[in-house]
Structure formats: structure tokens, C-alpha cells
Amino acid sequence: MINTKIPFYRDPRFRSLIVQILVLALVSYGLLFIYQTTVSNLVERGIQTSVSFFDDVAPFKIGFSPFLEFDLGKTTYIEVFYIGILNTLLIGALGIAASTIVGFFIGIIRLSPNWLASKCALIYIEVFRNVPLLLQIMFWNFAVFLATLPPPKKSIELGFIYLNSRGLHTPKPFVDDLTNFNIWMFILFIGLCFCFWINKRSKKQFEQTGKRNSIGLYNLVGFIIFAILSYFALGSPLGFDLPVLGKFNFKGGGQLPLPLFSLWFALTIYTSAFIAENVRAGITSVSKGQIEAARSIGLTRTQMINMIIIPQAMRVIIPPTISQFLNLTKNSSLAVAVGYEEIVAVWAGISLNQTGQALIIIAMTIIVYECMSLFTSFILNAYNRKMQIVER
Amino acid sequence: MNITVASEKTMTSETHPIITISNLNKWYGKFHALKDINLDVNKTEKIVICGPSGSGKSTLIRCINRLEVHQEGSIIVDGTELTDDVKQINEIRSDVGMVFQHFNLFPHLTVLENCTLAPIWVRKKPKIEADELAMELLKKVRIPEQSQKYPGQLSGGQQQRVAIARALCMQPRVMLFDEPTSALDPEMIKEVLETMIELADSGMTMLVVTHEMGFANKVADRVIFMDEGQIVEQNNPENFFSNPKSERTKLFLSQILNH
């Protein structure tokens, strides 16, 4: 006789159900405990958690706010929050762009057959990824840039551009004549479309005749000349706000404050060392047979790298590089050390100290980082899927 | 049939050899991989190279398109000597097709793109012409219907036939085959060998490293036996198989034919 009935406690489905119920109960209890402790602590200290402080005027100054106008005595806390987000996005975007370029460059040099170049890249990678980032940010800011750049009165001048220990000061364009400016933008748009059309035509011509013409460079130079000529033809629709030396520093114009520059520099160098290693891993993952096949059909070294190695290496490079991009964005919060005004500094730092609304402020900061990271990885994962599908 | 033995210079004097290898020596570190190789290959000649593993047969044909660098002696392909000159190397490579044991197709390109890549970028052919040529050659290897697929979607035999078509798209003067059937199932070996036989019949100069003795017997003008980096024996297939001269060849043939 075969007994198909098994005791319920030996049924794997029953066992897994029990485990899940137990875990769920424990987690729920933990959350409840945290919630109750928080509420009772807040009541005990007499803290009213509310969002009413959002519209209060922030009693402190924010020096760097390139996207939103900061006005001491008018700007509210919620606007400070937006300024913090925008400044974080700015350093994130600048850092990602620069570290990608530097990382790819170093990674490719690391694999160069040239012994000296390869060893220099190795030293770069091993020095910069093994020193804590905070130390590097402080090193570049205090030991290098602040120490070597001159004070405002002795600024290094390049036309209307000034470089000193406070940062880089440049003329800032503003719209002088709105109608003409709009016309200029429209003309530029048409010009851009024309360039794309020429490009497409030359690509088609290449496919049909096999003749390759380096139209890209002519296109670029032509467009720049066209842009400058049409700008003057429309009577210079842009005005320039020039930086002027004041009592302590330059006033007016656009400025790239030194903390932003130091932070950007340190984040780029630190992250690019990791990206370089990803690039190296990706390139070495392409099998030797691929390289031999590419050589055997007569491709030049550059053609082989561009058409055979890089497309295959990208599939290995992208996923860990996404993590590096996320790390860079989150690491930008170390800006507190040099005084760049991003979200942790102005929101989770100064605003929290002023208002005491820890719960709301910390929660909002977490959500901002979470959203940024998810958005970045969403975009890059889409790109990654495109690269992966290609194989079959 | 045009059967020539390299050492007999008098016979090759009227036909100019397409590949001349003289006193070729190659080392991997201290290991002497090729020892004093002398070999002339005439136009349209089919040569099968066999020998035990580690005998240097793959190294020899890889030297011909400079996938391996030799240290002594000279290799002249179609009047051009192989030196360190990158331009010369690329010229020779585009004239010498190569088929690998593991196919080495580009997995991120379609079958058609695999075939047209080099004609477009090295030969500077218009894309339309390159496409036409590739389709013609894919028809020849009997897989035109797979042209839009990726290599990963094909069987081993189909992949190897694509690899042959890819090499032929450069319209090479010589084709090198490095154990083209060693990574294949028996059924697929047959389809690849048939393609190679058709190619041989069309008059292509071929150097084939293989253990397929049936193929050697049917197609080769000359069979070369290598051992320990040296050419031990070379002869036409009838004499090579029925009447091998050296003991080493006899031993090799008895092992490879009696299993």
C-alpha cells in the first residue's frame, strides 16, 4: 500500500507559510515599537511635528544658488529645500559626467601595451580608491586649492574671468532683448536641424558609395560661425553681467565657488578610479578569440576597439558603473566638510538645527536621495537592457 | 592535379608561390615551438597539416597572418614580407582569410553584419555592394535565410559556415583553417566539410589544420605531418596514407585511423 497522505508538518508549503507568518509578525511588532517610542518621545519633549515651518522665512544665508534666486529675509524653508536639491543635482550631474570620461580614459590606459602608461594608470587607481573620500575632499580644498590660489585682490585674470581662492568668477549672460533672443533661438534650432540633415545625408552617401567624408567637424565649425554671425546680426540679444571686485570678493557675474570645485574634483578623481576598474574588467572580459577574429579580417586597432571590444565590454561595464553613479550622488553629502550648500548641508543641517523638525526633515532628505537613485538606475537600466538584448 | 613538393625548386619555378616560408623559427619563452620550417604554397594548392597536439601546426598557420610573431626566418605572402609594419600586416590580413576552431563570430552583430563589417571598413565598399556580396556568399554556404539572426541563435555548424562566409567576404587569396571542425558534433562536421570541399573545388588556395583524414584524402594536394615544431614528412595523400616514410608518421596514422 502506498500512503499518499503526508503529515502536515512535513509539507514544505506548510513550513514556508509558518516561517513567513512568524517573520511578518516580528517585523510588524518591531515597527509598532519604533512608532510608539517615537511618539512618546516627541510628546515627552513637547515637540510638535508639523509642516507649518515650510512657509517661514529662513533666517540664514545661502551663498550659492545658481537656479533659484536667494533673498535673505524672503526665502522660505521650503525654498531652501529646493535649493538644496538643485545643488545636489548639480554636483551629481557634473561628477557623473566628469568621472565617466576620466574613468574610461584611465581604464583604457590601464590596458595599454605601453608599460609606463599602464603603470601610471595603476598608480592612479590604487592611490585614489584607497584613500577615504572625506580626506580627499579636504585635501584638495584646504591643502591644494585654498593654499595655492591667490586672494581676491590678486586674482588670476583671463579676460573677464577671474580665478581666486573663493572660486571662479565669470561673466553671466542675461537676456537683453527678448524678441530678438527668441528669434535667435529659433534660427539656431533651424541650423541644428540642418546639421542633422547634412549628417544623415553623408551617412547615406557613405552606405551607397563607401566614401567617407569627415562632415562632423565641418558641421560643428559651420554651426558655431553661423551662431556667432546671427547673434551679431540680431544686435546682440544677450547682455553680460560682469564680475566686479568688491571689498572682500567679486560681486555679480556667474560664480563657481571653490567648495563646489574642490568637491567636484575629489568626487571625480575618487569615482573615476572605480569606474576605471569596471572598464578594465569589461574590456578584459572580451575573449581573446574576438580580438583574433577582428585582427584576422584586417581591422585596424582603433576600428577593433570601437566596433568589437567596446560594444561587448559595455555589457559588463554598465551594471557596476550604475552603482558608482549612485555612490557619487550620495557621497556628495560629504560637501558639509568644505561648505558646499547641497541638501544635507542646508536642509538636514542648518534647517534642522533652526527648526528642530528632525522627523520631517530627515524623512524628506531620505526620500530625495531615494528618488534620485531610483531615477538614475531606472534610466541606466533601460540603457543596459538595450545593450544586453542586442546579442539574441 | 598539381602536386608539388616544396623542396623541389625546379617544379615551382614557373608557378610563383603565393606563400614562401623560409627558415622559420619561433619560441614561446624558452620553448622552441617552430624549428626551421621551409614551406612554399602555390596558387590554388590545398595543403592539410596534421600532427599530434603541441606539434606547432596551429602556430604555423597563425604565423602566416601574424596572429603570432616569429623570431627568425621570413614569411612572404603574395610578394609582401611580414614585418612589424602595421600597414603591411593589415594588408596581408585582409588578403588572408582565417577560420577558427571556436568560430569567433561577433556576438553583438547579426550574421549579415558579421560578414559586411570588414568589406565596409577595411575594403571601403559601399554598404549595398557589401550586402549583396555577403548574401551571395551566405547562399554559397547555404544559410542565406539566417542573415538577420545573431550568432548565438545558430547551431555550431551554421556558425562555422558563417565564419567561412565572413572570411570569404574579404575575397581573400588564401584561406587558413585552424581545426575548423574540432568543436563540432559529427553531423555538423559533415556540413562544414562539404562547404570546405566546395570552396576547394572553386580553386581557392587553402591551408587546413585538421584531423579529418577523409577530408585530407579527398581534397589535399599535399599532406604535411608535423611533430615537435618540425615538418617530419610531406607527400601527396595517396603516398602519405598508404606508404608513410617515417616511424613517427606511421605511429600517428595508426593511432588516428584505428579507433
Domain boundary among A214, A241, A268: A241
Give the pLDDT of residue A290: 95
Cα–Cα distances in angstroms (integers) from residue B177 to residues A156, A186, A365, B184, in the given order? 66, 60, 63, 14
Residues A195 and A125 in one domain: no
- The count of structural domains within chain A is 2
Report the C-alpha gap between A262 and A344 in whole angstroms. 17
- Parallel, antiparallel or unpaired: strands A172-175 and A238-241: antiparallel
pLDDT at B12: 42
Q: Does B108 touch chain A (CB under 8 A)?
A: yes
The burial of A42, by beta-carbon neighbours within 10 Å (0-12 exposed, 13-18 middle, 19 or more buried), is given as middle
Per the CB < 8 A criterion, the answer to whether B117 and A294 are in contact is no
Report how far residue A200's alpha carbon sits from residue B214's, in angstroms, rounded to the nearest whole number: 53
Q: Is B172 exposed, middle or buried (0-12, 13-18, 19+ CB in 10 A)?
A: buried
Q: How many CB atoms neighbour CB A280 within 10 A?
A: 22
Contact criterion met (CB below 8 Å) for B103 and B159: yes
Q: What is the ipTM of this complex?
A: 0.88
| Angle A321-A299-B58 from CA coordinates, rounded to 5° | 100
Structure-block grid coordinates of residue B232: 617530419
Show which of A220, A241, A262 is a domain's final residue: A241
Question: For cell 529662513, what's the residue?
Answer: A58
Out of A289, A298, A390, name the one closest to residue B93 (CB): A298
Question: For position A222, what pLDDT does the model report?
Answer: 86
Does the beta-carbon distance from A390 to B150 stay under 8 Å?
yes
In angstroms, rounded to a whole number, what is the distance separating the alpha carbons of residues A373 and A326?
6
Task: Say how far apart CA A13 and CA A207 lie, in whole Å.
Answer: 61
Looking at the domain assignment, is residue A58 inside a domain?
no
Give the pLDDT of chain B (259 residues) as one tens digit per residue. 444 444 443 444 446 789 999 999 999 999 999 999 999 999 999 999 999 988 999 999 999 989 999 999 999 998 888 888 888 888 899 899 999 999 999 999 999 999 999 999 999 888 889 999 999 999 999 999 999 999 999 999 999 999 999 999 999 999 999 999 998 998 899 999 999 999 999 999 999 999 899 999 999 999 999 999 999 999 999 999 988 889 999 999 888 876 5
| Amino acid (one-letter) located at A367 | I
Query: Could you tell me the sign of the dihedral formed by the alpha carbons of A222, A227, A229, A233, in that order?
Result: positive
Residue A203 domain flag: yes
Q: What is the 3-state secondary structure (H, E, C) of chain B?
A: CCCCCCCCHHHHCCCCCCEEEEEEEEEECCEEEEEEEEEEECCCCEEEEECCCCCCHHHHHHHHCCCCCCCEEEEEECCEECCCCHHHHHHHHHHEEEECCCCCCCCCCCHHHHHHHHHHHCCCCCHHHHHHHHHHHHHHCCCHHHCCCCHHHCCHHHHHHHHHHHHHCCCCCEEEEECCCCCCCHHHHHHHHHHHHHHHHCCCEEEEECCCHHHHHHHCCEEEEEECCEEEEEECHHHHHHCCCCHHHHHHHHHHHCC
Residue of A nearest to B152 (CA): A392
Count of beta carbons in the 10 Å neighbourhood of residue A377: 16
- Nearest Cβ partner for A297 among B125, B129, B166: B166
- Which residues from chain A sit within 8 angstroms of residue B126, using beta carbons? 207-210
Query: A214 and A251, same structural domain?
Result: no
Nearest to B65 among A207, A296, A312 (CB): A296
- Are A211 and A308 in the same domain? no
Q: What pLDDT score does A392 carry?
A: 53
Q: Measured between alpha carbons, how far is A19 from A91 in angstroms, rounded to an integer?
A: 45
The closest alpha carbon to A91, from A228, A265, A249, belongs to A265
**Whether A334 and A189 share a structural domain:** no
Q: Kindly report the CA angle at B206 between B204 and B212, in degrees rounded to 5?
A: 125
Q: What is the CA radius of gyration of chain B?
A: 18
Residues A162 and A287 in one domain: yes
Contact A296 B128 (CB under 8 A): no
- Name the minimum distance, in Å, from the CA of A270 to any CA of chain B: 32
**Are residue A166 and residue A179 in the same domain, yes or no?**
no
Q: How many CB atoms lie within 10 A of CB B235?
A: 20
What span, in angstroms and rounded, lies between the C-alpha atoms of B62 and A343? 60
Q: Are residues A165 and A234 in the same domain?
A: no
In this structure, is residue A35 part of a structural domain? no
Torsion of CA B59, B106, B171, B213, to 10 degrees: 50
In angstroms, rounded to a whole number, what is the distance separating the alpha carbons of residues B47 and B49? 6
Residue A392 has its nearest CB partner, among B94, B120, B152, at: B152
Q: How far apart are CA B107 and CA A297, in angstroms?
A: 16
Cα B243 to the chain's mean position, in Å? 25
Which of A202, A290, A297 has the highest number of chain B CBs within 10 A, making it the mutation to test binding with B?
Answer: A297
Helix (H) or strand (E) holding A280: helix A258-284
Which one of B102, B118, B150 has the shortest CB-CB distance to A298? Answer: B118
- Size of chain B in residues: 259
> Which one, of A258, A263, A256, lies nearest residue A95 by Cα?
A263
- Residue A229 placed within a domain: yes
Q: Which residue of A has its CA nearest to B170?
A: A297
The answer to whether B126 and A205 are in contact (CB under 8 A) is: no
Residues A377 and A303 in one domain: yes
Query: What whole-number distance in Å separates Cα of residue B91 and Cα of residue B96?
Result: 9
The angle at the Cα of B229, spanning B236 to B10, to the nearest 5 degrees, equals 40
Chain B positions in Cβ-Cβ contact with residue A294 (cut-off 8 Å): 106
Rounded-to-integer distance, Cα A252 and Cα A387, Å: 46
Grid coordinates representing B42 are 602555390
pLDDT of residue B145: 94
Q: Is residue A274 part of a domain?
A: yes
Contact across the interface for A311 and B129, Cβ inside 8 Å? no
How many Å is the Cα radius of gyration of chain A? 28
Q: Is the dihedral of CA A128, A131, A137, A143 positive or negative?
A: negative
Domain interval for residue A214: 172-241
Residue A350 lies in a domain: yes
**Domain membership flag for residue A251:** yes
| Same-domain pairing of A342 and A366 | yes
Q: CA B195 to CA B215: how far, in whole Å?
A: 11
Phi, psi for residue B96 in degrees, rounded to 5: -120, 115
pLDDT (tens digit, 9 = 90+) per residue, A83-106? 999 999 999 999 999 999 999 999
Q: Say yes or no: A86 and A108 in one domain.
A: yes
Question: Considering A241, A262, A293, which residue would you say is the last residue of a domain?
Answer: A241
Task: Judge if A177 and A270 occupy the same domain.
Answer: no
Distance CA(B164)–CA(B180), nearest Å, equals 9
Measured between CB atoms, does B173 come within 8 Å of chain A?
no
Has residue A347 been placed in a domain?
A: yes
Q: Domain check: are A280 and A156 in the same one? A: yes
Q: Which residue positions in chain A have pLDDT lower than 50?
A: none
What is the Cα–Cα distance from B88 to B97, expressed in whole angstroms? 15
Q: What is the CATH number of the domain that holds A249?
A: 1.10.3720.10
Inspect the interface and report whether the beta carbons of B117 and A297 lie closer than 8 Å: yes
d(CA B162, CA A324): 39
